[in-house]
Amino acid sequence: MSKSLYCSVRMRIHREGEHLSGAEDLVPLPEINLVLTSFWQRLFPFVLLEGTLPLQQIVTIDPVLEKDILRKSLLAVQTMKSESSEETEKALPGLLRHILPSGRTELILEIFKNEIMGSAPRNGALLVTSEGRILPEGFSGGIRTTHVGCVSSLRRSLENQLDSFFGKPNHRFVDALVLASKVLSSGGVLLEICASDDPQYTTGYVASPLFGYVRIPHIKRQGIRRGGRLYVISPDSPLPALLSFLSSTPVLFGSQSPDSDLMSHPDLTIIPSVRGTFPPGGASG
Ligand code: PML
């Protein structure tokens, strides 16, 4: 088998058309069995817990040449300190005000509330300008970020660190970090804000070049099935190039940016938290 051939592997689990879960990785061809096994294991909880209707698991595999892969560093991670959804609701605008152009924070949070937390889930992210215009014009579907992965040793190291904080495996956090790191590495996105559509998972995040990946506890209350991703794009970002980068440029993460580059602010109670084990550029697939 050729070591220089990689595969972009994407998996989605549905039940009767309802999206339940998804995952993605970019791996050397010889590692594909391991990835398929880990995706297969993600099906089991749905088989065991969620009723008797048939499940569908769809796996898509695209071959990718190693020479076409961009190698980048994951965003550094911080966590906003919050004990409740009320605290988060108060603190979130303060974080966004540092990232967005002046006067846009309330508008963007209103769009997140109505279009992401108040609407049926889309199959992908919603794109808006910082003036609140939804893009592409007249498009109500979702933008999918794909062809992205993280070298397995770094992925494991990040998952294990979170294990020791929270006492349970957390592939959801690492999947989200990898996806957000690709989105921000496009250079065309000012910020991404995300809440999970899993009713039990109430931690979301805000990703931006200034603060890296900020985990936001209690971004929603327990029991809410709504969630999704909002990308706010830079005014000067050419849309066709951005969409093409997000959906088809293969990006592999093998290191993590140092948190010394992150902005901090006395008004923001955010703490540096999870680190990869590799120096930038120090690992490959
Ligand atoms: C999702 O379910 O796709 C969103 C996951 C958000 C993860 C937030 C975190 O734990 O850092």
State the Cα–Cα distance between residues 224 and 270, nearest whole angstrom: 25
CA–CA dist 120, 268 (Å, integer):
32
Q: Return the pLDDT at 265.
A: 64
> How far apart are alpha carbons 247 and 218 in whole angstroms?
30
Residues lining ligand 1, judged by CB closer than 6 Å? 172-173, 176, 194, 196, 198, 201, 203-205, 215
Question: How many Å is the Cα radius of gyration of the chain?
Answer: 18
| Other beta carbons within 10 Å of 267 | 10
Please give the number of the atom of ligand 1 that sits closest to the Cα of 215: 11
Q: Which residue of 205, 206, 214 sits with most ligand 1 atoms within 8 Å of its CB, as the best mutation to test the pocket?
A: 205
What gap in Å lies between CA 109 and CA 87, rounded to an integer?
A: 15
Amino acid, single-letter form, for residue 13: I
The edge-to-edge listing of strands for the beta sheet with 148-150 is 70-74, 251-256, 148-150
pLDDT at residue 166, as a whole number: 54
- Residuewise pLDDT in 10s, the chain (285 residues): 455 999 999 999 988 878 888 899 999 999 999 999 999 988 888 887 766 778 899 999 999 999 999 999 999 988 888 889 999 999 999 999 999 999 999 999 999 999 999 988 788 999 999 999 988 876 667 899 999 999 999 998 888 777 655 545 578 899 999 999 999 999 999 999 999 988 889 999 999 999 999 999 999 999 998 999 999 999 888 999 999 999 999 999 999 887 776 777 665 666 666 666 544 433 333
Looking at ligand 1, which residue's alpha carbon is closest to its atom 6?
A: 204
Q: Distance, CA 76 to ligand 1 centroid (Å)?
A: 15
pLDDT value of residue 198: 86
> Which residue lies with its CA nearest to atom 8 of ligand 1?
204
3-state secondary structure of 66: helix
Please give the pLDDT value at position 43.
86
Ligand 1 site-directed mutation target among 24, 192, 196, most atoms within 8 Å of CB: 196
Calpha distance 34→63 (Å, rounded): 16
Ligand 1 atom 10, closest CA: 173
Give the pLDDT of residue 206. Answer: 96
